[in-house]
Structure 1
Amino acid sequence: MNTRILKYILLSLGLIYFGSCSDYLDKDPDDELTLEMVFGDKTRTEEWLANVYNQVEDPYTLYDRVEAMGDDFVVNPGWEQFGITIISYQTGNWNPASNWTPNYWNILPQKIRAAHIFIQNAKPNPAQLFSLKEVNYMKAEAKFLIAYYHYLLLRYYGSIPILDKITDIYGSEDEIMIGQRPYDEVVDWIDQQLIDAAKELPPMYEETQKYGRATSIMCHAIRARVLLLAASPLVNGNQDPAYLNYTNNKGEKVFNSVPQLSKWERAVEAYRTLLNLALDNGHKLYYEYLNDGSIDPFMSYQNVFFKKFNDGNKEILFARPENAHSLYEYVTQPRGTGGSGAVGVTQLLVDDFFMSNGLRPITGHNANGSPIINSASGYIEKGFSSKTEFRKTKWIESRNSTTEGQASEDYNPVTLAGTFNMYCNREPRFYISVLYNGCWYRREARETKFYLDSPDGGPTHDSPSNGYLARKKVHPDCDPRNNISPYRPAILVRLAEVYLSLAEALNEVSYSEEAIGYLNLIRERAGIPKYGTQQGEITPPANQDQLREAIRIERRVELNCEAALRFDDIRRWKIAAGILNNNFWGMNFYGTEKSDDDNNPDAFFVRKVYQKRMFKGYWMPIPQTDTDKNSNLRQLPGW
């Protein structure tokens, strides 16, 4: 075959599924667009790599693709009629032929192939001031993206092939129809790819226009995540029959059935390497302060998601510069304020936030959905507050009848008189994350009204199906009515996650005082008492099991509604079935009255089941069309 035609075919294969390619790919060229034409031009070379980048996850689009599969987000069931398939996943109406919107199994291999083509063909162009140093950086970026996309495939599918080269289109059937490799082999391969890429990349770029491009810190951040997943119970010593008997097309066991402590030790090493690299390069937790110099936990936690790296937010380790935050804000804003009011948070998440004294309010739930209350926490389930609660903060999203929040002051209202007691005296992260019925909504200068037939409530599906909307990552100055949506970074990895992950890995090796220290860094910034023996501190977890639980609940709260981390956690900890195969509760969608009377059908503030969920499997199934075409693929356990 003519070499020029062959290269054109390879180019075409590399561009399949590139739905957001730059304009030049959509034009009718005077001649065939060959690899020589692309990689002989600096702009086209840069655009090729940009198109490889465009499947880096956007954390503002995951709520109705991945995150609502877990127990953080609620996507209104009324959306199913509009083709939002995640509701079918929640209710167990799912099989390998189902359509999953990200379609990573088909799309990411195309990006991986395009990255390999880039590495093989990118070259300097002195006439266009395109240096060898810049080309080598870009090739290392492509290497990072190859590893990152393998991580995404591993993250969601578990049993995957290794796409370490461009498949020869004239190769044998075995070369084209690639089978899955053992899980640990894939982990080792991704690990080495990221180590190699990190050696060639800088820890950060000085050029603003390179924000979001791969760095050595990003390489080590994804490497650490991969190794944490590999050490976790789902794939490290899983004795379930489906995993014990699961083999690839060569008869090799895919998942390790014998627990290995060395995997946790390896994760510790990876997180230490990442943490040291990040700290050495100026990364740190993001803080905002009160006039008296103390930490403002409300503003610190809120603005870590809004402040850019160049504006002093050094907590960011990996962010996507472009994102769809305006759509996220639209679907999370109350219906009566210009939003659709259709994306909320679960009652399970509401129940898990700490009290202001740092204690857990609810330690579990009875079969009838009622909470098991920790009496020592001071939590009150029923009734309404008699006065406005003030806290030390510059957060101004609440007020009472006489006092508007003032950003210049250190003392501002947090909840109004008449607030349902369930929402009173909670920790700062609760108020930043949850929009509940009856809270003050500053932009509208009124309380939210989620009652049936009220401005923000039913009967349409564009209202909270369980009585809550998501508030986290929603900018307080956004205004869907007037298309105002302030820019913010789309954070995929931040330093708080690193501290929590290192704490977990340390504790799994052995009970660790160091791990408690990392938890305390997070709790201090969150404005709740630390673990310790000093006055005002909370008794530390006394053993490995207690510390494991403390770490898990801290992750649950600190990292809620972020980049599908909770969905990852409950799967890798092998607890997803117990959580997701259940009734999901919330406030009474049909409630019209400000009442908590369990015997009053019109009472809003009463726990009611809004959805029955059915959990089917820990991994996404391989699309049926692919197993039909490729006999070397084996469907995932549970499917």
Structure 2
Amino acid sequence: MNIPKTDRNKLKIFAIACVMALPACNNYLDIVPDDGMATLETAFTMRSTAIRYLYTCYGFLTSEGHLDNDHGYMSGDELWSIYDRRESGAYWGGTMFNVARGFQNATNPYGNDWNGIYEGIRCCNILIENAETVPDLPEWEKLQWIAEAKFLKAWFHFHLMRKWGPIPIIKENLPITASTEEVRVYRDPMEECFDYVIQLLDEAMEDLPLNVQSRDELGRITKPIAASVKAKIMVYAASPLFNNNTDQATLVDNRGTKLFKTDKTAEEVKARWDAAVVACSEAIELSEEANFELFVHQSRVRVNDTIRQELDLRNAITEKWNSEVIWANTHTSLGANRNLQMVSSPNLQWDQYPDMPNLYNHIQPPLKIPEMFYTNNGIPIENDLEWNGVNPYNLRVGDNTHRWYLRRDYTTVELNFNREPRFYAWMGFDGGLWYGQKAEVNDPIPGDLFWVACRAGGAQQKKGYDWGPITGYYPKKVIHYQNRQTSATGYDAITYPWPMLRLADLYLLYAEAINESEGPNGAHSNEMFFYIDAVRSRAGLPGVKEAWDEYSNSPGRYNTQAGMRQIIQRERLIELSFEGQRFWDLRRWKTAPSEYEKGIYGFKVTASRPQDYYQKILLAEQNFALKDYFWPIQTGLIEQNPNLVQNIGW
């Protein structure tokens, strides 16, 4: 680094709070020494101060699962809320929900962390440049720290790329003596951005461990994490939004450089998918070597197979550091996780505390999300022969066959019957049973279980315009089954690190890459069906071929690349629902416009009679234009640096 000594001594090291491991508590790491001023010289004079700088690099990780700071969670079409809640400052500010509402702008963009993430890249560069100088740091640890910093640097670049598309690559920090023209950097072409990030991850993997050394280090980067993130990034690089996207042909900077390559041959397009196949295969091999596997719950109480399967599915997300979570984000505060659970929960202990003011349950999925889930035969409603002629919104009374899913003798709609296990495990709804929230007992009977009654007059009814159900469905998936209401105002939430990448996600990325590379009947077809069917089997569903051949109106759909693409994409949208993945997947596939035009619908939640309640009500319309694929660069940044050409449409 070309920084004069006098300037180095004035350079503050940013003390960013970072949770680095303990499963049940937060470790906030402060690197400011006793004199209140940290310098590069003091930071790298010994291991005990240098490791704090490493944690500072981790501190710039984005906060996935945070309602205001996860830029793909409340900003799309998967969850909806009330525009002007009185309690908007209590558990979330509604910042990213403004993107969903169509209020994004270039003057002051929502979710604008451009400067902050580049600050994180700068910190990573400083550590990479200085780790070798720490005198009491073993050589193996120096290499590991540098590898961790390279991973974080790659992730920070990818975070910016996913939002803004082509970005300036920062390989090394500019010296303080840099001229104005040197500071006015250009955006690098999209292909070069992806190649650089992949290069960083390849370099990092050489020196990362297979597993962390102790539970105190959970959250630190390992070889399987780096390999899996590389696989995911390579699938993004191969996807239509980034791979020969002719819609971006006019994005050209003032040098005449095209920021998207739009004249690729079919072989060049395929090459990206071929590389993704290899990366996914290697990531799965490493993850399985590190003993990751699809999660199976070990219940502490005796429950029947139906409830056990529900717990398998729910705990794959909410059980801390379970066997399926390859990478969990310890930077997202546990308070943010608790808030997510609280705003998603109905009043749970209806028989004791029906009016708990903290459980506003004002974040809910629109009707197109429950419609999206499969039938119990593992195919979409519209393709299931058994649903031919059945109106999903006809009234139906809970029966003995569905007694573990629906309140017996309670009137609901056909949409809630004969659905796949993930529907019941991950969705709450009027008349639906909800395992947990009460003291656990052995061999429970249906009448022991909590159930939702959110029509007017029910325990979970709408109690005010900003309190109570919005659409009539709840994202049960993110709510731990052991959460408890402890009093009229008390709520105990079992918090957990947010799952950034699960093994199921990786399996489906691999299936997608194979199909896009060679179609469903190529050299890797057996692996493609094996991994997608593994995800389906854990969800209690038949394999793809069996489901479509025996139960659908379109047997053999999986035999074409287009048909298999539909199957894989739907599987991802279901399996990863409410995890913040849908927002990005719809964009990289370029299917967002068709999904958004379906509109945001809910039930008439203020009604009491079933025939009145179960009406589809349009809550909002969403538009999706070409400009919405990428964030706008803030106008002020472009005024400071005219070399940063603005994204199309902004």
Tell me if TM exceeds 0.5. yes
Q: Secondary structure at the match of 2:578?
A: coil
- Taking the TM superposition and a 5 Å limit, the aligned residue runs for 1:190-205 are 190-205=197-212
| C-alpha distance in structure 1 between counterparts of 2:482 and 2:18, whole Å | 32
Residue equivalent to 1:331: 343
Contact 1:217 1:317 in 2 (8 A): yes
Q: Provide Cα deviations, 1:539-563, integer angstroms capped at 9, x if missing partner.
A: 552211111111011111011111x
1:16·1:110 contact (CA, 8 Å) conserved in 2? no
Change (3 A) 1:568 1:206: same
| In 2: Cα distance, 1:283 partner to 1:537 partner | 33
1:72, CA displacement in angstroms?
1.7
* Residue in structure 1 matched with residue 533 of structure 2 by the alignment: 520
- Do the aligned residues in 2 keep the contact of 1:585 with 1:608 (CA within 8 Å)? yes
| Displacement of 1:608 | 0.5
Q: State which of 428, 450, 465 in structure 2 corresponds to 1:460.
A: 465
Q: Does 1:420 align with 2:413?
A: yes
Q: Which amino acid aligns with 2:310?
A: F
- Residue number among 471, 478, 491 corresponding to 2:499 in the alignment: 491
Establish whether residue 440 from structure 1 lines up as the match of residue 446 from structure 2. no
Residue in 2 that maps onto 1:144: 151
- For 1:448, the aligned partner's letter is V
What are structure 2's unaligned runs of at least 5 residues? 20-26, 348-354, 439-448
> Alpha carbons of 1:361 and 1:15: their partners in 2 closer, same or farther (altered >3 Å)?
same
Let me know the Cα RMSD of the aligned residues: 3.0
Stretch of structure 1 that moved more, 413-422 or 571-580: 413-422
SS in 1 for 2:328: strand
Match status 1:575 vs 2:591: yes
SS in 1 for 2:327: strand
Deviation at 1:47, TM superposition (A): 1.9
Q: Flag the 1:377–1:298 CA change in 2: closer, same or farther, 3 A.
A: farther
Distance in 2 between residues matched to 1:516 and 1:108, nearest whole Å = 38
In the alignment, which residue of structure 2 is the partner of 1:501? 509
Aligned to 2:14: 15
Query: Using the alignment, how far apart are the partners of 1:17 and 1:628 within structure 2?
Result: 29
Within the candidate set 160, 167, 191, 1:160 is matched to: 167
Cα distance in 2, alignment partners of residues 378 and 428 from structure 1 = 20
Q: Taking every aligned residue pair, what percent have the same amino acid on both sides?
A: 24
Query: 1:67 matched to which residue of 2?
Result: 73
Deviations 1:443-477 (A, max 9, x none): 37654233357653143213232222211121022
Q: CA deviation at 1:45?
A: 1.7
Match of 1:281 among 286, 290, 293: 290
- How far apart in 1 are the matches of 2:399 and 2:551? 27
Tell me how far 1:91 sits from its aligned partner: 2.8
1:90-115 superposed Cα distances (whole Å, 9 cap, x missing partner): 232221123424x3211100011011
Aligned to 1:346: 366
**Where in structure 2 are the equivalents of 1:523-534 lying within 5 Å?**
523-532=536-545
CA contact (8 A) 1:220 1:273 kept: yes
2:631 corresponds to: 620
Counterpart of 2:110 in structure 1 is: 100
8 Å contact from structure 2 (residues 32, 38) kept in 1: no
- C-alpha separation between the residues in 2 aligned to 1:38 and 1:169? 19
TM-score by length of 2: 0.84
- Aligned match of 1:355: 375
Tell me, in whole angstroms, the C-alpha distance in 2 between the residues paired with 1:360 and 1:226: 29
In the TM superposition, what is the alpha-carbon distance from 1:123 to its structure 2 partner? 4.7
Tell me if the contact between 2:67 and 2:340 (Cα under 8 Å) persists in the aligned partners. Answer: no
SS, match of residue 500 in structure 2: strand
Matched pairs, number: 592
Aligned position for 1:599: none
The residue identity in structure 1 corresponding to 2:4 is: T
The counterpart of 1:184, out of the listed 183, 191, 206, is: 191
* Counterpart in the other structure of 2:22: none
* In 1: Cα distance, 2:178 partner to 2:455 partner: 63
Rounded to whole Å, the distance in 2 between the matches of 1:130 and 1:584 is: 56
- Pairing partner for 2:275 from 255, 266, 275: 266
The alpha-carbon distance between structure 1 residues 532 and 90, as it changes in their structure 2 partners (threshold 3 A), is closer
User: How far apart in 2 are the matches of 1:533 and 1:108?
Assistant: 47
Q: 1:223 to 1:558 in 2, by over 3 A?
A: same
Candidates 65, 77, 86, aligned match of 2:83? 77
After the TM superposition, which of the residue ranges 285-294 and 186-195 deviates more from structure 2?
285-294
The residue type equivalent to 1:334 in the other structure is: P
Q: Find the counterpart in structure 2 of residue 224 from structure 1.
A: 231
Q: Which secondary structure does the structure 2 equivalent of 1:356 belong to?
A: coil
Matched, 1:594 2:605: no
Alpha-carbon offset, residue 423 of structure 1: 1.0
Are the equivalent residues in 2 in contact too, given 1:144–1:197 (CA < 8 A)? yes
Cα distance in 2 between the residues matched to 1:619 and 1:149: 16
Give the Cα separation in 1 of the matches to 2:282 and 2:191. 21
SS of alignment partner, residue 241 of structure 2: coil
Distance in 2 between the 1:51 and 1:154 partners?
Answer: 22
Matched residue type, 1:628:
E
**TM-score, normalised to structure 1's length?**
0.85
Indicate the residue corresponding to 1:3 in structure 2.
Answer: 4
Q: Deviations over 1:65-105 (max 9, x none)?
A: 4222222222332349655233332232221123424x321
CA distance in 2, matches of 1:415, 1:202: 49
2:393: which partner in 1? 381
Aligned to 2:50: 45
Q: Where does structure 1 lack aligned partners over 5 or more consecutive residues?
A: 364-371, 391-399, 401-411, 597-602
TM-fit CA distance, 1:568: 1.0
* Distance in structure 2 (CA, Å) of the matches to 1:449 and 1:98: 42
